Chain A
Amino acid sequence: MAELKLMKGNEALAEAAIRVGVDGYFGYPITPQTEIIEYLMTEQPEKRTGMVVLQAESEIAAISMVYGAASTGKKAMTSSSSPGISLKLEGISYMAGAELPGVIVNVVRGGPGLGTIQPSQADYFQSVKGGGHGDYKLYVLAPSSVQEMADFVEDAFDIAFKYRAPVLILSDGLIGQMMEKVYLKEQKPRMTDEEIIEKYGDWAVTGKKGRERNIITSLDLKSEKMEARVHRLMKKYAQMEKEDMRYEKTLCDDAEYLIVAYGSSARISQKAVELGRKKGIKVGLLRPITLFPYPKQPLFELADQVKGMLSVELNAGQMVEDVRLSVEHKVPVAHFGRTGGIIHTPEEILEALEQKIINNGSIRHYKTREPSIL
């Protein structure tokens, strides 16, 4: 039986981590995600499931701990907010290179620099275009409700272990701090050491017993071997695109205009769609749930149907580039978004749709970059 609770997004994610049987959480305080480690420390999951929770000396140490835990086949995760994620990128790149499963949560705040603690989606590029060094990609899940903050923990670990790759849950201050109803799934047992050895013994470093030694490394000094490793990674990403891309469509069947938005912006855009429909504007919403793999094909197909698209993001225009790449110049695409921690209102979004797309007969998508920010 699922348990109904009123929780903050951050708390729901932390509770879900305990319930899906995560082995280790390693974190460092930073607003607006500190509730995650506070909740875990208060809950004492070591008494509930044996889960280890540790406050690390830095973001770098925390992700390195995830790297260590993942090297042994354990389910490990860390969370942070934007400036902290910049620090973690070292470890994330190493995990991608060493093909280690693990989950990283970014409750995004405004940047660059120390920025603001208010909500933002300005880490889109960092999340989907690499971020860390080298040829790698992160599987990126973007929750847009407290329920998804909880549910995506399990989804993220499933993907992480399916592909032996790090997975990012890209949330933001709005989803992390807000409270909603959440149905929490029943406690799942953590895997025993024996089960881990049995299941991941072909690669995990758990002690050389009854087999040749295992090595976890991202280093290949021979170029041919390194290239083979990169090709192996690319194959995984191609498979992710084929099998694990996720998105959600709202009122798209008869849509003449499309809003594309993820996470908190998708929630606010949904209201804008409602307001638009009340005004007689046939507008729909496509919400990418995975930001990599990106729903390129659905957008490409919708481009034959709609007259224009508006990418709504809490940033100065990042995902809009992927929308444009997806529609291949078939329709005009504009961006609307507030930055600095200001959250756009549904009214503002609708107004932007009217101004930038509906009433802008001469719109050419490559000209819209400049006026996208006031």
Chain B
Amino acid sequence: MTEEIIIAGFGGQGVLSMGKILAYSGIMQDQEVSWMPSYGPEMRGGTANVIVILSDERISSPYLKAFDTAIILNQQSMDKFQETVKPGGVLLYDPNGITIHPTRTDIEIYQIEGNKLAIDMGNAKISNMIILGAFLKIKPIVKLDNVIEGLKKSLPERYHHLIPLNKEAITKGMAGLIPFKVTHKD
């Protein structure tokens, strides 16, 4: 199994940490992982993205052009990364703030109201975990237990009390996944 993922959105949406938790979860189940972020000023308020690879084998290139899954959290990233999904691959996005929806018909497309559900939960910062939950519903490449273990590993001790909230968010995300049908193509 090899899963090549790009996660992209605004800085502050938890893009990098979602990738990190995914990578940690992979480690918890003895997989090879890589996490390659965009870095620098573009992170501050601009777009942030991270390429995460989980594999049963040694990972060659941490930097890729085509992905099995794209997780998209803003319009700029949609414009930039929709085309990078491999045919037959998955595009998961949060429709919040998206004005031009995806148009490809050769891939599976899903929506998750990460931002909205997080606000409903009373914590906007948790949206990335909701989205992660939705992704794991589509592709259960890591077990929920391993995600929790990964969280324990990646979070400093003082944040461990937030783990149940994270777990709840993942469950919410799994339940909130909506398949998206492309109805027209320009």
Chain A residues in the interface with B (C-beta under 8 A): 4, 6, 31-32, 117-118, 173-174, 177-181, 264, 267-274, 343, 345-348
B65 within 8 A of A: yes
Task: List which B125-184 residues lie within 8 A (CB) of chain A.
Answer: 153-154
A4 to B32, CA, bound (A): 12
**If A271-B61, A271-B64, A345-B65 touch, does A181 touch B32 (CB 8 Å cutoff)?**
yes
- The answer to whether A270 and B60 touch across the interface, beta carbons within 8 angstroms, is yes
Which of A180, A267, A268 lies in contact with B35, CB distance below 8 A?
Answer: A180
Dominant secondary structure of chain B at its interface with chain A: mixed
**Do the beta carbons of A118 and B61 come within 8 Å of each other?**
no
When C-beta atoms are compared, the residue in chain A nearest to B62 turns out to be A178
Given A177-B39, A179-B23, A180-B34, are A6 and B154 also a contact pair (CB < 8 Å)?
yes
Tell me the nearest residue of chain B to A175, going by C-beta.
B62
What would 14 A/B residue contacts be, using CB atoms closer than 8 Å?
A4-B27, A6-B154, A174-B36, A174-B63, A178-B35, A178-B36, A178-B62, A180-B32, A180-B35, A180-B59, A267-B63, A272-B61, A345-B63, A346-B65
Q: Does B40 contact A (CB under 8 A)?
A: yes
Interface size on B, residues (CB 8 A): 23
In the complex, the 5 A-B pairs of residues with the closest C-beta atoms, listed nearest first: A271-B61, A270-B60, A345-B65, A179-B35, A271-B60
Q: In the complex the two chains form, is B24's CB within 8 Å of A6's CB? A: yes
**Provided the pairs A4-B27, A6-B27 are in contact, do residues A177 and B64 lie with their beta carbons within 8 angstroms?**
no
Name the CB-closest residue of B to A274: B60
Interface of A is mostly: helix
Q: How far is the CB of B45 from chain A (nearest CB, A)?
A: 16
A31 touches B40 (CB 8 A): yes
Q: Could you tell me if B35 and A6 are in contact, using CB atoms closer than 8 angstroms?
A: yes
Minimal Cβ-Cβ distance residue in B for A118: B40
Q: Which residues does chain A contribute within 8 Å of B153, judged by CB atoms?
A: 6
Known: A6-B153, A31-B40. A179 touches B20 (CB 8 A): yes
Residues in chain A near residue B6, CB distance under 8 A:
none
Q: B18-34: which have CB < 8 Å to A?
A: 20, 23-24, 27, 32-34
B14: chain A residues within 8 A (beta carbon): none
Question: Given A6-B23, A32-B40, A117-B40, are A181 and B33 neighbors across the interface (CB < 8 Å)?
Answer: yes
Residues of A within 8 A of B61 (CB): 267-272, 346
Contact of A267 among B32, B39, B62 (CB under 8 A): B62
B9 CB within 8 Å of chain A = no
Known: A181-B32, A267-B61, A345-B64. 11 other contacts (CB 8 A): A174-B36, A177-B36, A178-B62, A179-B20, A179-B34, A179-B36, A180-B32, A267-B63, A268-B63, A270-B60, A347-B65
From A6, A173, A273, residue with most partner B Cβ within 10 Å:
A6
Residues of chain A with a CB closer than 8 A to B37's CB: 177-178
Q: Which residues of A contact B65 (CB under 8 A)?
A: 345-348
Task: Give A173 to B23 CA distance when docked, in angstroms.
Answer: 20
Q: Please, how many angstroms separate the alpha-carbon atoms of A177 and B23 in the complex?
A: 15
Q: What residues of chain B lie closer than 8 Å to A274, measured between beta carbons? A: 60
- In the assembly, what is the distance between CA of A358 and CA of B129, in Å? 47
Which chain B residues (37-82) contact chain A, with CB distance < 8 Å? 37, 39-41, 59-66
A179 vs chain B, min Cβ distance (A): 4
